[in-house]
Amino acid sequence: MVESEFDVVILGSGPAGLQAAVHAARAKARTAVLGKVRSSALFKAHVENYCCLNDTVSGENILNEGRRQAEKFGAALIDEDVLHIERLEDGRFSVKLESGDTLVVRSIILAMGISRNKLNVPGEKELQGRGVSYCVDCDCNFYRNQVVTVVGSGSAAASGALRMLLVASETHLVCESLEISEKLRYQLESSGVHIHPGRKVGRIVGEGEVRAVLLDNGEEIETSGVFVELGAKGAIELVTGLGVALESESMRFVAVGKKQETNVPGLFAAGDICGPPWQIAKAVGEGCVAGLEAAACARRAATKTAQS
């Protein structure tokens, strides 16, 4: 087992984590980024609504460029997952990696994103990023004038289906029930969305790209895109033992202040783990702030230790 020391450790190698790494490393903090780039929700996505990028760019390319940039400024990239975090008596953190190695660090940035709730049906995993999406707002424009299917029973699915009416040629909503307000129900039922109540998706059909969805009653809907809108689960299990406060309304996301600080000294958060909207622009902005603040926090802690 190897023990290494860093000023700033970032959990997550998506856009929030990589932007944080760039700023922390440029601020001369010893910085490490943990996590596997393929785990980022951006990896299989395509981006067309990010400022200053005129062409559609693959998420994989954006992340790989971000990794090279972070490394250029001195950040260490460690392609391992974290198993455990604990607070040490001197105020630093101990971060245990899957290899058994341990990092001792002054500041941590949580940027591991969220785990999207999945349908867990045949074809979903294979066609993710090839017609299967988990964010209407992010990917709607890729399906302009095409037939799309939204799956879910809550307000996210209903509002997503209404949004797709502005873009798609035809919109279907597959829902076991409609657990939404009466106002939203009225909007939906009078909107032109083809609603399939009491139904589940049994399979997503296609080779290389989505062709159709097969419902549990045998009905097949020919479609180019499937938007799974089942809500999102906060990826915060690693830090619950540290007493991190959660955003009060849903209790699924980490609560942060304007400096991306949590209620735990030395612990910051950025990106999807802080809540919606699920946009790269938000993640990058929060990562910038978190990287600068975590580096400054680590400097203050180091100065205090040296003076004591």
For the chain, what is the domain count? 2
279 token code pair: 């946009």
The pLDDT tens digits of the residues spanning 284-293 come to: 999 999 999 9
The pLDDT tens digits of the residues spanning 6-47 come to: 999 999 999 999 999 999 999 999 999 998 888 888 888 888
Picking from 213, 228, 243, the residue at the C-terminal end of a domain is 228
Phi, psi (deg, nearest 5) at residue 246? -105, 155
Please give the pLDDT value at position 201.
98
Judge contact between 119 and 201, C-beta under 8 A.
yes
Average pLDDT of the segment spanning 49-70: 92
The CATH number covering residue 256 comes to 3.50.50.60
Please give the pLDDT value at position 81.
85
Torsion of Cα atoms, 91 then 16 then 276 then 160, to 10°: -150
74 and 134 co-located in one domain: no
The pLDDT tens digits of the residues spanning 155-208 come to: 889 989 999 999 999 999 999 998 888 888 999 999 999 999 999 999 999 999
95 and 129 co-located in one domain: no
Residues with Cβ within 8 Å of residue 226, at least 6 apart in sequence: 127, 131, 132, 133, 148, 149, 151, 201, 204, 210, 213
201 and 123 co-located in one domain: yes
258 and 173 co-located in one domain: no
Structural domain boundaries, residue 133: 118-228
